[in-house]
Amino acid sequence: MKMNENLREYALPEIEHLQVHGRTTGRLSPLVLFWTGSGIELKVTGSELWIEVEVDYEHYEPWVSILVNGAAVSRQMLSAGRYWLCVFRGMSVAATKQIRVVRDVQAMSADPSCSLQIHAVKCDGQFQPVEEKPYKIEFIGDSITSGEGAIGAKEELDWTPMLFSAVHNYAALTAEALHAECRILSQSGWGVLTSWDNNPHGNLPDYYEQVCGLLTGEKNQKLGAFDAHDFTSWQPEVLVVNLGTNDGGAFHSPPWQDPATGETHKQRLLDDGSYHEEDLQAFEDAVVQFLRKLRMCNPQARIVWAYGMLGIPMMPAIHRAVDTYIQQTGDRSVSVFQLPDTTEETIGARTHPGRLAHERAAHDLSNYIRKLLEE
């Protein structure tokens, strides 16, 4: 595509009013987008705007959505390489445009090569201050919070980046309803104690204090994924945890054998189909310990454990764990909220919640959080 000859190039540190979304290293040369929903936001005049991206992957390519004045106008797969990506062109020069470029795909722990970086911007307009939102909300979760299946036909069953959305998932929609800035830390198949297949390394709490510690490889180390996160740089008013679905699934999955040690891990069921008491207690203990870590890192946040979009088999254990944490600590800024279950009408791709399910969840959750914020 031919570029306007009047475009001026700006390195990201040169843009005074650049707003960065998502947990990052804090560096802008370049800006690495690790997580679902991470990206940049600009308020700019001009007829045309491009961003310089650097993309890599071996198995799972990044996708991005582009929002202009709050509306999603473009969604595309990014090919590997370093190149200029057109955000908009042919628009009125004088009109101010609110621009967001959003990473649609989660951090890909299964692909050490997958990365998305932004180096620079070209435009023929002027940058203006981006409005600061009154609230910050952090979401921690699994495939549901990654927006897996929120886009795509119901019959789609392939595990592919095409079927992830950071725009149409309940976290982004909840934040939008509350006029809040949103951060998402999520990974498909992972849990509080174990992943869906009983892998004890597939848990979010172990990596929470790093920028994006669930990634692997020397490349991600150089990009800063394993750096300690600076929690003082961004403190949420509300922290939403949507974990437990995969921990429940592990009880119904085969054992996982550690290839390094040969050790086998399994969340067990009793002969009558109920959960083994010791293994259920291990899950509850993991919830309590994660709440302690979350409170240490986010001393003022309201913490909401939200669960239920794919059934509620772990809800009694979650309630017990939260009650135990409150009794042990006296911290009453923690609560449990049941999200609406996905139905045949609201199911999406990969038998995951679809867009309608995410919209219903966001409606209920935003109303609940709004009451917390008003207190």
pLDDT tens digits in sequence order for the chain, 375 residues long: 777 778 999 999 999 999 999 999 999 999 999 999 999 999 999 999 999 999 999 999 999 999 999 999 999 999 999 999 999 999 999 999 999 999 999 999 999 999 999 999 999 999 999 999 999 999 999 999 999 999 999 999 999 999 999 999 999 999 999 999 999 999 999 999 999 999 999 999 999 999 999 999 999 999 999 999 999 999 999 999 999 999 999 999 999 999 999 999 999 999 999 999 999 999 999 999 999 999 999 999 999 999 999 999 999 999 999 999 999 999 999 999 999 999 999 999 999 999 999 999 999 999 999 999 998
What does residue 244 show for φ and ψ, rounded to 5 degrees?
130, -25
pLDDT score at 64: 98
Q: Are 277 and 215 in contact (CB under 8 A)?
A: no
> Distances from the Cα of 45 to the Cαs of 92, 102, 125, 127, in angstroms?
8, 20, 5, 7
Q: Give Cα 342 to chain centroid, integer Å.
A: 20
**Fold (CATH) for 135-374:** Rossmann fold (3.40.50)
Query: Within a 13 Å sphere around the CA of 353, how many CA atoms are in the beta-carbon half?
Result: 29
How high is the pLDDT of residue 4?
77
What is the rounded CA–CA span in Å between residue 214 and residue 241? Answer: 17
| b/e burial code for range 323-340 (CB count within 10 A of at least 16 → b) | eebbeeeeeebbebbbbb
Q: Which CATH class is domain 8-128?
A: mainly beta
Distances (CA, A) of 16 to 8, 87, 88, 331: 15, 19, 21, 40
Q: How far is CA 230 from the centre of its chain?
A: 18
Residue 3 pLDDT: 74
Give the CA dihedral 176, 177, 183, 184, nearest 10 degrees.
-100
Domain ranges of the chain: 8-128, 135-374
Round to whole Å and give the CA distance between 252 and 261: 23
